[in-house]
Amino acid sequence: MKDSSVELRDQLSIDTPELVALEFPVAGIGSRSIACIVDYVIQGAAVTLVILGLALLSLSVPSANAAPAKGSSSAGVWATAIVLLILFLFQWGYFSLFEAFWNGQTPGKRMLKLRVIQQSGQQIGFFHALSRNLLRIVDSLPGFYLVAIVFVFATKRSQRLGDLVAATMVVHERKIEMPIWEGTAARSFTASLVEPVAAVQSTRSTGLAADVIARLDHGDLELIESFNARRLDLPYKASSALAERLAGQMAGKLDVSLPADMSPETFLELLANEMRTIVNGS
């Protein structure tokens, strides 16, 4: 029976070049709207404080140093220009800079545990953050982000216009799980954080000679352990398909046939154990 909490969200599955599928719960309009409101409240508070600070600073200037009426008019123009510049920087820089240098998050997104990522599942950079936020003014038209809402509901990955241009999307943040295997296996995204545990020793083996297994390199071991660490988080069909592809790839490098008496998953687990034994014993 499937977990009903998982069905409440759209799951996006991304196949990485390492033949590992990453699953992300796509953020919906509700959580994104709340995060946006939080960010605008922070923006408004920050702008208000800056303007009040400038006003107090102007009042603190002694009246004896006041310029003639014409100078006062010029000072007023400069003050207005500074305020407009501050508003511009907050409007365009707030979202772009936070998302670019804060791992795809603004304060509002972090509070709601959301994150902006590339469509490939990778972390966004400054260009992606700037591109998606330059179109925020279009997404907000004609008011209350109506254009963005239409695009979010119309696209499969709940992307607004800025996301489509920058090839980004907003997902629910998931904690990182350490792999259960020792070594340098890649980390995987999972719903909860668990402690690393020692690999279980098995009396079974692949039946392959050490010199045959030695044909695989350290990169192959990382690839196998990356899959082994993530496969329990994947849907059964996706996990089985990836295991079969990966086991076939490794068997091809070894120039052997897959054992008929064991599953691809078992073959990969035993192969990783034997590769680690060879490395540790050398």
What is the distance of C-alpha 123 from the center of its chain?
Answer: 5
Give the pLDDT of residue 61.
60
- How far apart CA 247 and CA 263 sit, in angstroms, is 9
Question: What six digits make up the tokens of 129?
Answer: 């953050």
Give the pLDDT of residue 62.
57
CB under 8 Å to 6, separation ≥6 — which residues? 25
Give the pLDDT of residue 76.
66
pLDDT tens per residue, range 6-25: 334 466 666 555 555 566 78
pLDDT tens per residue, range 24-79: 788 989 999 999 999 999 998 988 888 888 778 777 765 545 555 555 566 667 77
Q: What is the pTM of this model?
A: 0.57
User: For residue 117, what are the β-bridge partners?
Assistant: 123, 169
Question: What six digits make up the tokens of 147?
Answer: 């254009």
Q: How confident is the model at residue 174 (pLDDT cuts 50, 70, 90)?
A: low
State the sign of the Cα–Cα–Cα–Cα dihedral 250, 21, 204, 280: positive
User: For residue 13, what are the β-bridge partners?
Assistant: 23
pLDDT higher than 90, residue 147: yes
Closest by CA to 22, choosing from 264, 230, 210, is 230
- How far apart CA 66 and CA 143 sit, in angstroms, is 43
The percent of residues in the chain predicted with pLDDT above 70, rounded, is 74
Closest by CA to 114, choosing from 177, 43, 30, 42, is 30
- How far apart CA 74 and CA 173 sit, in angstroms, is 50
Cα-based angle 235, 240, 241 (whole degrees, multiple of 5): 100
CB under 8 Å to 279, separation ≥6 — which residues? 218, 221
DSSP structure string for 88-103: HHHHHHHHHHHHHHTT
- How far apart CA 165 and CA 147 sit, in angstroms, is 14
Give the pLDDT of residue 180.
41
Looking up tokens 């996006």 gives 12
Give the pLDDT of residue 184.
44
Give the pLDDT of residue 119.
87
pLDDT higher than 50, residue 223: yes
Closest by CA to 269, choosing from 180, 192, 195, 196, is 180
Buried/exposed code over 24-46 (b: 16+ C-beta within 10 A; e: otherwise): bbbbbeebbbebbebbeebbeee
pLDDT higher than 80, residue 169: yes
pLDDT higher than 80, residue 128: yes
pLDDT tens per residue, range 77-90: 777 787 788 888 88
Give the pLDDT of residue 17.
54
Q: What is the mean pLDDT of residues 191-219?
A: 68
- Higher-confidence position of 260 and 190: 260
pLDDT higher than 70, residue 257: yes
Residue type, 100: A
- For the beta carbon of residue 114, count every other beta carbon within 10 angstroms: 20
Give the pLDDT of residue 13.
65
* Poorest-pLDDT segment among 3-17, 21-35, 221-235, 246-260: 3-17
Show me where the domains of the chain are located: 11-172, 188-281
Q: How confident is the model at residue 146 (pLDDT cuts 50, 70, 90)?
A: very high
pLDDT higher than 90, residue 101: yes
Cα-based angle 28, 159, 238 (whole degrees, multiple of 5): 75
